[in-house]
Amino acid sequence: MGNDKDFGVVVLISGSGSNLQAIIDARLPISLRAVISNKANAYGLERARQAGIPTEVIDHRDYASRADFDAVLQQHIDHYQPELVVLAGFMRILTDGLVEHYRGRMINIHPSLLPKYRGTNTHARAIEAGDAVAGCSVHWVTPELDAGPVLLQAEVPIHPGDSADTLAARVLEQEHKIYPEAIRRIASGEIRWQQ
Ligand code: NHR
Ligand code: GAR
């Protein structure tokens, strides 16, 4: 492992993992140390295996509380001593304790032009509101949901006749460009947490 690979990254997923795939395919000068999913059937786990990245499943349903789940999740992440934790379609809200532990070291990609449409169902809400543009945002994770500082965004047009699915596909294409780019900039020191 060369020095350029010493920027350790752990990726958290819950589903398809197409953003994970984009990060793998970008061949960034980082070390993808592990992919952790809260869902055993997440297709992203298969993508990680194909790429030779260690995988772990921590099923939130095995824990009595969010705090219990997060304590175990934190232990497993810390085992890999990552410089950066990347949420890529990770669908569990994280408790303040875990988020504080990774303050300035955890990012998320969210499928809206934040601060618009925090939370879920972003595409349907943008169409319903009659917006002309939609997009995606990479942001630092802070305790308040989808409210941390934005570090990169991309816009796409909303076309007449768009459904949430057709819009989501257009936005996802941009996600696959800006998420690897955001990680590249953080790893190179071009972007850092300031607060
Ligand atoms: N946790 C904190 N504290 N802060 C953020 O900014 C977070 C976070 C955890 C996840 C991703 C986020 C998104 O990009 C994210 C940002 C899940 C939900 C949610 O409602 C909302 C936002 C995000 C992720 N999750 C439900 C829950 O009860 C479960 C939904 C499901 O399983 O489908 O945790 O949008
Ligand atoms: C992406 O669109 C991502 O922005 C979104 O889920 C999709 C995951 O796709 N994230 C959230 O909605 C987080 N709440 P992927 O698993 O193929 O990367």
* Kind and range of the H or E run holding 187: helix 164-188
Task: Tell me which residue has its CA closest to atom 14 in ligand 2.
Answer: 91
Going by pLDDT thresholds of 50, 70 and 90, the confidence category of residue 5 is low
Q: What are phi and psi of 12, to 5 degrees?
A: -105, 130
The token duo for 77 is 């992440």
Question: For residue 39, which ligand has an atom nearest its CA?
Answer: 1
| Contact partners, residue 137, CB within 8 Å, separation at least 6 | 109, 110, 112, 113, 114, 150, 152, 153
Structure confidence by residue, pLDDT tens digits, 102-122: 999 999 999 999 999 999 999
pLDDT at residue 85 greater than cutoff 70:
yes
Pocket test for ligand 1, best of 38, 39, 86, 145 (most atoms within 8 A of CB): 145
Nearest Cα to Cα of residue 7 among 189, 129, 145, 192: 189
The residues pairing with 139 across neighbouring beta strands, listed in sequence order, are 108, 150
Q: How many helices (H) and strands (E) does the chain have?
A: 6, 7
Distance from C-alpha of 122 to C-alpha of 186, rounded to nearest angstrom: 26
Single pTM value for the model: 0.96
Structure confidence by residue, pLDDT tens digits, 125-176: 999 999 999 999 999 999 999 999 999 999 999 999 999 999 999 999 999 9
User: Which member of 60, 76, 79, 110 is catalytic?
Assistant: 110
